[in-house]
Amino acid sequence: MIALVGCGGSASDVQVASSTNGTAPAAAAVASTPVVPATDVVSQFLDLVRRGGTDSGASTLLTSKAQSELQRIGRTVQPIGSPDARFTVTRSEMVPSDPNAALVHSVWAEPGPEGTTIESQVVWAVQKEANQWRISGLAMEFEGEPQPMIVNFEDGNRMAALLADVEGPSESSAELSQAASNPEQIDR
What structural domains and CATH numbers belong to the chain? Answer: 13-185 (3.10.450.100)
Host H or E run for residue 128: strand 117-129
- Check the CA dihedral 40-44-46-50 and report its sign: positive
- Return d(Cα 54, Cα 73) in angstroms, integer: 15
Q: Residue 168 has what pLDDT?
A: 66
Q: Residue 26 has what pLDDT?
A: 37
Contact between residue 64 and residue 53 where contact means Cβ atoms under 8 Å apart:
no
One pLDDT digit (tens) per residue for the chain, 188 residues? 333 333 333 332 222 233 334 444 333 333 457 889 999 999 999 988 877 766 788 999 999 999 999 999 988 877 666 778 889 999 999 999 999 999 999 998 989 889 899 888 999 999 999 999 999 999 998 777 889 989 999 999 998 888 777 676 544 444 433 444 333 333 33
Give the CA distances from residue 122 to residues 74, 106, 172, in Å, rounded to whole numbers and listed in that order: 24, 5, 29
- Return d(Cα 106, Cα 121) in angstroms, integer: 6
Q: Residue 2 has what pLDDT?
A: 37
Q: Residue 184 has what pLDDT?
A: 38
Q: Residue 84 has what pLDDT?
A: 82
Q: Residue 88 has what pLDDT?
A: 95
Q: Residue 52 has what pLDDT?
A: 74
